[in-house]
Structure 1
Amino acid sequence: MEGGDKNGQEPRGQSQASGTGPPWSQESSPEEGLPTEWSRDWSLTRRVLLAVSLFSLLLGSSVLWVYIFRNCGPRPCETPVCLDLLAQYQASGNTSEAPCTDFFSFACERAKRISNSFQALAKENKKRLKRLLEDPESWHQGSGEEKAFQFYHSCMDTDAIEAAGAGPLTQVIEELGGWHISGNWTSFDFNQTLRLLMSQYGHFPFFKAYLRPHPASPHTPVIQIDQPEFDIPLKQEQEQKIYAQIVREYLTYLNRLGTLLGGDPIKVQQHASLSITITSQLFQFLSPLEQREARDKLFHMVTINQLQEMAPAIDWLSCLQATFTPMSLSPSQPLVVQDLDYLRNMSQLIEEMLLKHRDFLQSHMILGLVGTLSPALDSKFREARRELRQKLRELTERPPLPDHPRWAKCVEEAGTFFEPTLAALFVHEAFGPGIRSAAMELFTEIKDALVTRLRRLPWIREETRKEVQNRVTQLQVTMGAPDWALKRELARQEYSDIQLGPNFLQSVLSCVRSLRARKVWSFLQPLPRHRWLVSPWGVNAYYSIPDHEVVFPAGLLQPPFFHPDYPRAVNFGAAGSIMAHELLHVFYQLLLPGGCPDCDTRALQEALLCLERHYAALPLPSGTSFSGSSTLLENAADVGGLAIAFQAYSKSLLQNRGETKLPNLDLNPHQLFFRSYAQVMCREPSAEHSQDTHSPPSLRVHGPLSNTPDFARHFRCPRGTLMNPSSHCQLW
């Protein structure tokens, strides 16, 4: 019965008057009626038991939470691609370095050498192309693919190339009218020879000429005339001693070429010496870039007829028409010219040489052609050129040439001449729909983070903010490869104008002519498609101003920078930061003086000055230097790219479950993000490119990371260390 015991008796002490409280409030305590001392002992015991129970509950909860954390937190990624990435990170990093004082060495140093992530990836992409070119099942008989494979195998057939010797080159020289060195000089028409060199052999001895989009809107195709590229590393301000040594080495090389071609040693010496004199004089005519910038004369717009009057030694219409067939040129055809003063002086020198030393001028042109064609010749010519380049690098204190196996050179040549074919094969092999979809998803998250960040920039006013957001919305993106590279009918085109044989040199020359014709044809299309500046297997992303398009080739979106099965920290830190960097190129104009009239100029300049001082305070590796002003825009893109990628990654962590990490690396996901960013920048500092707009690699790591408070927080860097300075710059 309710309220009674099992015998139906009334419980002792129950209130008869009240039935409103809960049952337990109406019952007597169990110890009621017992002695008071015993009651106190039992109360104490009960409190102890309660405390023990609570402790056990807390201990059990702690164990449970540890279990949940370990099983619901980031799981180790143990797929083959993750284990390969782990091995690369362990091989390239130096964990004995403290990340808060030298994160570049922590991420990039390898047995006292610096790993080069981009170089390693480019090599891996070439190996993939090699496997495709050596797989008989990769191509179809009777298609254009077959010619690509035949070209590669003829390039690899060094026995046949050695057997041909200098014969193929001698035949080319005879087609050009011979030369005085070998005693077979038959005739010489300067402009006819120049026209043949430019149109049939792809050699430009006195200037460069090529098609490009017009520098101003609407970016229609235009022929541009540039200064020549010299075969020897001369500089405007070079020590006389170094200059003399360079000239001696180059003279030795030219003498060697003339001897290999059967020339009389005395004549070879004379013609080689005068060829160097011509090169030196042409070099003296060059206007340094800084001078042309100061005079606001980077480019000139002239017609062919006007250029003919300024530089009459060249038959401009005839030479350009032959080179850019099937374009139809006229004397009124506009040209873009880089250095008019150079062309005037070059023309005057040629006129003088034609009056006094016609045969020497012919020899100069042919010696230059031999250097251009040497990669397609036998080992004696190739070795002569390699030795020259090696000695010149020593004289200019550059690192020695890396080993370049024959297969790598043949892959490069095949890729240059048969790009549509190899692009389709490479993308099919390395960038399937799943990879492309994952890369596009990553790009969308990066772009969304940029748009969000634009709303918070203090130095952009509302009108400009709307304008730049529209530019981001209108931006085109190409991921992996251009559309034409994915069409099998183009990949298997016949290349009917390419004739392979009877020797490898003739095959190369036929490919050179075909490639030039295809480039001209692409420019003549009524709605020309975007012309990629890199191959689909290349490793460089870029932003095209004329097309307002960012390009991320398939060759870049590969391990160790990107893979759908990687932890998201890796993809956002590596590929994501690259994507964000390229997106920020859209806004370079805003950062230039006067480039953003509607901006808060004072706040913008303060942020830029802060960034310049921030980089200037960072330590440089010995033997390297950089210009804070010339690298400022790229530094800004590095800093902003990292910040945007980290913002996108943080949002991704909130919206998605299942983040993974690399096993046995002792890095949590946020630390792995920053480690992956640094991996992108791993490379040796280069002294070769004095005009490089990027900072040295260590600064590209330390600059952005030390300007990111989240890095210092996740690596627990003490205030005042290199990677956690007392102040940060707020540009983006």
Structure 2
Amino acid sequence: MKNSSQQQVGFEDQKLSEKRWKCLRRLLPLCVLLAAILVVFLGLLIYTVQNCNRGVDSCELQECEVLAERFLSSRDPDFHPCQDFFGYICGNWSAKHSVSEGKGSANTFTNLWEENQRIVRELLERSQRENSGSAEEKARKFYQSCMNTEKIQELGAEPMIELINQLGGWILTGPWNQSNFNKTLHVLMGEYKTFPFFKAYMDFSPWNSTTRIIQIDYPDFDMPSKSQYADYAEGLRVYLSYLNKLGELLVGTENVASLQIPLVFSFMSQLLNEVTPTAEHREKRMFFQRTTIQDLQELAPSIDWLSSLRAIFQSLVLNASESILVHDMEYLKGISRVLEQYQKTSLLHMYMILCLVQNLTPALDDRFQRARMELNKGLRGNSTQTMVLTPHWKKCVTDTSSFYEPVVGAMFVRETFQPKTKKLAEDMFSKVQAVLRSQLGSLEWMDKQTRKEAMDKLDSIKVQIGYPPRILKTEEMNHEYSEFQPHEDTFFANVLEFLRLSQKRIHLEPVDTHGEEYWEVPPFSVYSYYSLKHNTVIFPAGMFRSPFFHKDFPSELWSSWHVYGSRTPPCSLRIC
């Protein structure tokens, strides 16, 4: 049976390899097309620089003056644009933009992202009379509960301890009365999006891009692995220290935590050791295996798979014959053997509750945030670097934007992205597409067949600008968030409620076959992307702001800077 299964997996992998090769052959014209795009955009950008003064002189608005000042202060005239174009246009950028230690490199996109975050903050803090119970009102209440730091600090670890007691207690914090680990596992995965032993999710099938299939893989372990850190022993020491700190914050004393946490730490190591190394996957050419829930139950019997998957995918009707995709079957078999050893002990429950604590620490007070910050600092090896907590308003903007993404996106669009801006952007891309089509017809290095394929690809490419249309449908958004009832002074409870309700409805979303309604980035993002599945280029509204775009900029400026910068990230990071 094992050999037959492996042969079947190998056969399916071979078929996928053939499909990938055919896909690559279809992508060749697109590669040629993108090369042509870069040539055209480079020409546009050089034209812009050479005619900079003329373009800015024709625009006397403040936005143009700011843009001119930004450009002139960042360029270095000591470089000749034809010999070192990057040095010429951005030679003084680094000197003018200091970078905080540990914050990465500064660039125009990150600066624009910071500005967009401040706009979102202002919108969430703005006093406004919405309809009672509207999605926008709920987003603002959620944000306000996150910003209520006085209440969060006052409650401390109490909300977490109350939740633990509801789940049957924890040996670290008091009496423990839950011995059915499958029952606890179902609650954690189904209500709190915590996956201690495996993660399960819906994603598109490798064989059919229009259908989804349940996929199972090993969880996202916080514990360092040997492949991640050169000094593996030090990484483990830092992580054990972090777990002890969490136990201490919950229990109140170090002694109790120090006795129990090492046992959980050892158990985590056993689970992590069952993960199949990526190199081994590549060598065997077995990245996934198609099976059924019933077959998986026979291979890894310690987990009640049908009940577990029903707890996760509450809106789906599942039975034992349901097809699923497993990414690491050897891992699931291995942890089943490990779980069998500890079925009648408290260790499994201790481990699962600790996973829940780690998952929910962002909703607790600053002591938990600092513990996590110290862990990150230790794992990066920056023991001497002084690290500062992210400003709390940024954390709250991020949390609110994550939970209420379409609602916050609509608020941002209405504030910054007017219909005229959208129309100008769409016209810009239509003109660029027309220019590319004319240029493709005159490229001597293309043969007739390649030129035809490139033109067909150009004609078929779709461009989506600004935002998914559904987010501006107010009634639809209000209905989507109708069950959520956030309160201004209970941030932890708000997070729990959102996790519970979103888990019940997240898989009810229809398959977006055209890629129009569900984007991979929010409207306030500053990064575009190309969807191979939908043959669509996405440009979010957050990109269409100065210095990349403004409705009153001369067309030479925004057509070359914005488009060229968007399509070539390595260079655009320093377009000044």
Superposed, which structure 2 residues align to 1:132-143 within 5 Å? 132-137=123-128, 139-143=130-134
Residue 335 of structure 1 corresponds to: 324
1:446–1:280 Cα change, 3 Å: farther
Query: What is the CA–CA distance in structure 2 between the aligned matches of 1:139 and 1:217, rounded to whole Å?
Result: 43
Residue 352 of structure 1 and its aligned partner are, at CA, apart by: 2.2
Taking the aligned partners of 2:549 and 2:65, their CA distance within structure 1 comes to: 14
Equivalent AA in structure 1 for residue 312 of structure 2: T
**Equivalent position of 1:106 in the other structure:** 91
Aligned partner of residue 343 in structure 2, secondary structure: helix
**Aligned partner (choices 470, 477, 486) of residue 484 of structure 1:** 470
Q: Please give the alpha-carbon distance, in whole angstroms, between the structure 1 residues aligned to 2:180 and 2:447.
A: 63
Mapped contact 1:271–1:364 kept (Cα < 8 A): no
Aligned to 2:211: 220
Shift of 1:170: 0.6
* Residue in structure 2 matched with residue 205 of structure 1 by the alignment: 196
Which residue number in structure 2 is paired with residue 284 of structure 1?
273
What is the deviation of 1:155? Answer: 0.7
Question: 1:172-321 counterparts in 2 under 5 A?
Answer: 172-236=163-227, 238-239=229-230, 242-262=231-251, 265-321=254-310
**Change in CA separation of 1:386 and 1:303 when aligned onto 2, cut-off 3 Å:** same
Which residue in the other structure is 2:573 paired with?
681
- Cα separation, 1, equivalents of 2:538 and 2:299: 40
- 1:563-619 CA-to-partner distances (Å, cap 9, x unmatched) read 22224343233321255x3xxxxxxxxxxxxxxxxxxxxxxxxxxxxxxxxxxxxxx
SS class of match (1:212): strand
TM, length-normalised to structure 1: 0.65
Alignment match, 2:395:
409
Alpha-carbon distance in 2 for matches of 1:327, 1:447: 43
| CA shift digits 1:515-550 (9 cap, x unpaired) | 333421114789996421111111221222332322
In structure 1, the residue corresponding to 2:188 is in which secondary structure? helix
Q: 1:98 to 1:177 in 2, by over 3 A?
A: farther
Match of 2:64 among 82, 91, 104: 82
SS at 2:139 equivalent: helix
Q: Deviations over 1:220-255 (max 9, x none)?
A: 12222233222244342643xx21222122112111
Asked if the contact 1:89/1:107 (under 8 Å) is kept, the reply is no
2:508 to 515, 521, 524: 521
Greater shift in the superposed pair: 154-163 or 567-576: 567-576
Instruction: Specify whether residues 342 and 456 from structure 1 end up closer, same or farther in structure 2 by C-alpha distance, changes over 3 A only.
Output: farther
1:571 partnered with 2:558:
yes
Contact preservation (8 Å) 1:77, 1:566:
yes
Q: Does 1:363 align with 2:255?
A: no
Structure 1 equivalent of residue 111 of structure 2: 120
Given the alignment, which residue of 122, 125, 131 partners 1:131? 122
- Are the counterparts in 2 of residues 214 and 221 from structure 1 also a CA contact under 8 Å? yes
The structure-2 alpha-carbon separation of the partners of 1:273 and 1:481, relative to structure 1 and needing over 3 Å to count, comes to same
Please say if residues 208 and 228 of structure 1, whose CA atoms lie closer than 8 Å, have aligned partners that are also in contact.
Answer: yes
**Map of 1:15-54 to 2, 5 A cutoff?**
none
Does 2:460 align with 1:474?
A: yes
Give the aligned partner of residue 493 of structure 1.
479
Q: 1:150 to 1:309 in 2, by over 3 A?
A: same
Deviation at 1:101, TM superposition (A): 4.9
3-state SS, counterpart of residue 346 of structure 2 = helix
Q: Given residue 424 of structure 2, which amino acid in structure 1 is its aligned partner?
A: A
Displacement of 1:396 in angstroms is 9.7
Q: Which moved more, 1:507-516 or 1:96-105?
A: 96-105
Whole-Å Cα distance in 2 between the matches of residues 152 and 291 of structure 1?
Answer: 45
- The alpha carbon displacement at 1:484 in A equals 0.4
What amino acid does structure 2 have at the position aligned with 1:535? P
Give, as a single letter, the amino acid of the residue that structure 2 aligns with 1:443. Answer: F
Q: C-alpha distance in 2, partners of 1:297/1:286?
A: 14
Quickly say closer, same or farther: Cα 1:217–1:525, change in 2 above 3 A: closer
2:381 partner SS: helix
1:253–1:388 contact (8 Å) kept in structure 2: yes
Greater helix proportion: 2
Check conservation: 1:247, 1:276, Cα contact below 8 A.
no
Amino acid in the other structure paired with 2:474: R
What CA distance in whole angstroms lies between the structure 1 residues aligned with 2:76 and 2:333?
56
CA contact (8 A) 2:138 2:485 kept: no
Amino acid aligned to 1:153: Q
211-220 vs 551-560, which moves further: 211-220
Q: Deviations over 1:671-690 (max 9, x none)?
A: xxxxxx94x2239xxxxxxx
Give 1:77 shift. 3.5
Equivalent position SS for 1:181: coil
CA drift at 1:304: 1.8
Whole-Å separation in 1 of the counterparts to 2:410 and 2:53: 43
Pick from 349, 356, 364: which aligns with 1:377? 364
- Following superposition, the deviation at residue 129 of structure 1 comes to 0.9
Matched residues in 2 for 1:145 and 1:473: separation? 39
**2:59 touches 2:553 (CA, 8 Å); kept in 1?**
yes
1:301 positional shift: 2.0
Q: Separation in 2 of the partners of 1:463 and 1:287?
A: 45
**Equivalent pair of 2:161/2:173 in contact (CA under 8 Å):** no
Considering only aligned residues, what root-mean-square deviation do their CA atoms show, in Å?
3.1
Change (3 A) 1:182 1:142: closer
Indicate whether 1:544 and 2:527 are aligned.
Answer: no
Letter in 1 for 2:57: R
Match of 1:644 in 2: none
The AA in structure 1 aligned to 2:427 is E
Pair 1:408–1:73, CA change in 2 (3 A): closer
How far the C-alpha of 1:465 sits from its partner, in A, is 4.1
Q: Which runs of 5+ in 2 are unaligned?
A: 1-50, 100-104
Structure 1's 280 and 138: CA in aligned 2 closer, same or farther, altered over 3 A? farther
165 and 396 in structure 1: CA distance in 2 versus 1, 3 angstrom threshold: closer
Q: For residues 138 and 333 of structure 1, what CA distance do their matches in structure 2 show?
A: 48
Separation (CA, whole Å) in 2 of partners of 1:468 and 1:73 = 33
Return the structure number with greater relative CO, CA threshold 8 A, min gap 6. 2
Q: Write the distance in 2 (CA, Å) between the matches of 1:263 and 1:421.
A: 40
Q: Are the aligned partners of 2:196 and 2:219 in contact in 1 as well (CA < 8 Å)?
A: yes
Contact 1:164 1:503 in 2 (8 A): no
User: Does 2:125 match 1:169?
Assistant: no
- Tell me, in whole angstroms, the C-alpha distance in 1 between the residues paired with 2:64 and 2:110: 20
Deviations 1:378-414 (A, max 9, x none): 12222221222222223599x9767521111111111
Deviations 1:355-375 (A, max 9, x none): 5xx322222221221111111
Q: Which amino acid aligns with 2:407?
A: T
Call closer, same or farther: CA 1:80–1:70 in 2, change over 3 Å.
Answer: closer
Once the 2 structures are TM-superposed, how far is the Cα of residue 211 of structure 1 from its aligned partner?
A: 1.7
What is the CA-CA distance between 1:107 and the residue it aligns to? 5.9
Amino acid across the alignment from 2:459:
T
Cα distance in structure 1, aligned partners of 2:561 and 2:126: 32
Identity in percent: 35
Question: Displacement, 1:93?
Answer: 5.2
Structural mapping, 1:436-515, within 5 Å: 436-455=422-441, 461-493=447-479, 495-501=481-487, 503-515=490-502
The answer to whether the aligner puts 1:434 opposite 2:420 as a matched pair is: yes
Corresponding residue of 1:419: 405
Rounded to whole Å, the distance in 1 between the matches of 2:53 and 2:110 is 38
